[in-house]
Amino acid sequence: MTSKIIGTTILGVRIGDRAAIGGDGQVTLGQTIIKQNASKIRTLGDGKVLAGFAGSIADALTLFERFEGKLEKYSGNLRRAAVELAKDWRSDRILRRLEAMLAVIDSDSSFLISGTGDVVEPEDQIIALGSGGPYALAAARAFVKAGYDDPKTIVRDSLEITGTICLYTNTNITIETL
């Protein structure tokens, strides 16, 4: 999935039933860094779902609220909540204007959700988005291939590498784990 969202990096890794998601802390406005220690990661669904966002903060917070409502409505079923949010996001006139993307992960599944109706479950259970997403994804895949098996370590190390490459990503990292 290609994203026009710039200005952040979110990376989620699931190995077995263990998962971690992390994001950098940089917030930019145009070419200017306006904050270095933002948290773009949330724990949802009574601590059973991790989520991260790229894009407009206000839009992402709206989506987190909607997504948490879907999780409640569908008894914590991540797949169903993701699909229902994407359907609403694509068809609702107001939601359609939101400029953000979500990465969500639990102990069983990982998804990228966009306003174009995309709900993508990666084959390797590594999810990345934002301007630094491709760098973080490549680093995480390399760590997994090299035999690393701790999602938190993979996320941290991959985001640190990304922070040295991507102009819109820093190394003030927030990580949540399951």
- Active-site residue, from 8, 162, 169, 174: 8
pLDDT exceeds cutoff 50 at 1: no
105 DSSP β-pair partners: 50, 110
Percent of the chain scoring above 70 in pLDDT: 93
CATH class of 9-177: alpha beta
pLDDT interval class at 164 (50, 70, 90)? very high
Instruction: Please indicate whether residue 164 is annotated as part of the active site.
Output: no
What is the C-alpha separation between 31 and 13, in angstroms, rounded? 30
pLDDT interval class at 125 (50, 70, 90)? very high
Q: Is the separation of the CB atoms in 112 and 118 below 8 Å?
A: yes
Q: 152: exposed, middle or buried (C-beta count within 10 Å: 0-12, 13-18, 19+)?
A: middle
CA contacts within 13 A on the Cβ side of 118: 17
Helix (H) or strand (E) holding 111: strand 110-113
What is the C-alpha separation between 168 and 152, in angstroms, rounded? 22
pLDDT tens across 12-71, in order? 999 999 999 999 998 887 788 888 998 899 999 999 999 998 877 777 788 888 899 999
Domain ranges of the chain: 9-177
